[in-house]
Amino acid sequence: MSLMTDKQTLNDLNIFGKGGGDSVYAIFNRTFTRGGSELMEAMFREPLSAVTGINARSTTIRSFAEKEIPFPYQSEWFDAGEQHLQNTDERSRLNEEEDTLSRKFNQLIAADTEYKAIEKGVVSLINILQATRLFADSIRQQVATIPYSGELAAIDQLLRLEELQPMMQEQTKHKFPFAKIAEYDKVLRFRQRDKIGQLLQHIYLADVYLSVARTARERQLCFPVALPPESQTMVLENFYHPSLTKPVANSFSITPSSNIIFLTGANMAGKSTFMKALGIAMFLGQMGFPVPASKMEFAVRDGIFTTINLPDNLSQGTSHFYAEVLRIKTIAKELSRDKYLFVIFDELFRGTNVKDAYEATIAITAAIARRQNCMFVVSTHIIEAGDILKEKCNNINFVYLPTLMEGNKPVYTHKLASGITSDRHGMMIIKNEGILDILARKKSIKKTT
């Protein structure tokens, strides 16, 4: 079973991005094969929700990263081999009767394009088979004690197919006679096509793991440890947003006795970036992928839902406030199913007046505080709500992102602190930008006669 999430959450965390270039997926997708890229995308669309699966994947990628295992294939082999396997038309099957003088003449003048395509596909698949044997033999001892050993056993079984053994001994740099291409084509494209397809899927998985391992090694990412859901614990040390060039790292924890993080801070203090970084860490952790942090341990969740960049729906005449209400209603329904969820609410009810936002923030936060099987992060600029919640709930951890003042200029540390901030610098920023002075200027109007 995969992790529950939705389009809003994927957009909030920029998992795929609009153009794809600056997305979280793009950071990790450095695969050599198209099949590997497609498999990685599928992993991002369906993160894991089982402790054993998450830890098995994390352990494998960690091992690949530590041993710096190379990917011993050429990408053009897969392009030709995949295209060849897709042609299942029996009319394209080669037979010895076709090895005529006319065909040989056409081959001499490079006109026999159909045969050349088949030849290229067969040779490419043989190269893949031989490279896979070398790859399996080279990592056998290194993966003997990790979960990937089961994957390697499946690869070995496919490579032991009797009909494939003659191909393992071929010298692919030498040109094959027509009869041999015809026989190998019959085996690869028709008799053992499904088995070859299975082998390619195993190779694509190795491509994903090696790609992610390389990213983890170069970016010095940590490997998460998944804990049972009922432990209701998360420890994140020195985590940061992976898209920032000079990020500020933060650390914090969630425990059964403080399963709600209540975040305050002035505008521009970095609350949204902090919450996106946290959401990305949880999302990657659930995938079993390495995380931008120095340490991560977390209780596995059934679902992740965020509300950070919530759009209006003008086509349906929906205001921003009503969009917020509908979003919270959607998440409330998920919470009512008694699943283990991780939920982020950034700036609750920013689309309404301060009084309603104050009352609604208190009401919603107090209500979710009763869901002690879930983890929540709630941010607000209405600091007065925090004072009331301190009295109403005993399972909230109050933190804030401080602002330092250098004269009249606010400086944002982006470093998490305990407590509730009293920072309010909106008017100061407006004054510093000279907006009021601009509006106060009188433009002289020349009278025309």
CATH of 225-439, one of 3.40.50.300, 3.30.460.80, 3.60.20.10, 3.40.190.120: 3.40.50.300
Structure tokens at 305: 């839902």
Identify the residue whose tokens are 């505080």: 369
Strand pairing category for 225-227 and 409-412: unpaired
Instruction: Break the chain into its structural domains and give their ranges.
Output: 31-219, 225-439
Separation of CA 435 from chain center: 41
Same topology, domains 31-219 and 225-439? Answer is no
Q: What is 345-362 written as a DSSP string? A: E-STTTTS-HHHHHHHHH
Single-letter code of the amino acid located at 179: A
Which class would CATH give 31-219? Answer: mainly alpha
DSSP conformational letter for 394:
S
Euclidean distance between CA atoms 419 and 421, whole angstroms: 7
What does the pLDDT profile of the chain (449 residues) look like in tens digits?
Answer: 789 999 999 999 999 987 556 899 999 999 999 999 999 999 999 999 999 999 999 999 999 999 888 999 999 999 999 999 999 888 888 876 555 544 554 554 445 788 889 999 999 999 999 999 999 999 999 888 999 999 999 999 999 999 999 999 999 988 999 999 999 999 999 999 999 999 999 999 999 999 999 999 999 999 999 999 999 999 999 999 999 999 999 999 999 999 999 999 887 889 999 999 999 999 999 999 999 999 999 999 999 999 998 876 655 556 788 888 899 999 999 999 999 999 999 988 887 888 998 999 999 999 999 999 999 999 988 888 999 999 999 999 999 999 888 777 888 899 999 999 876 655 556 666 677 777 777 665 565 55
Q: Which residues are within 8 A (CB) of 1 and not within 5 positions of it... i.e. 6 or more apart?
A: 49, 50
- Give the model's pLDDT for residue 17: 84
Instruction: Retrieve residue 65's tokens.
Output: 């990263």
Report the greatest alpha carbon distance in the chain. Answer: 103
Range list of H helices, 29-159:
34-45, 51-67, 75-86, 101-108, 113-139, 148-159
Question: What's the pLDDT at 99?
Answer: 55
Alpha helices in 140-245 (DSSP H): 148-159, 165-168, 178-185, 193-219
Instruction: Please calculate the CA angle 300-304-309 and round it to the nearest 5 degrees.
Output: 150
Rounded Cα–Cα distance for residues 234 and 72 (Å): 38
- Interhelix angle 34-45/75-86, nearest 10 degrees: 80
As given in the structure block, the two tokens for residue 397 are 């951890």
CA distance 348 to 362: 10
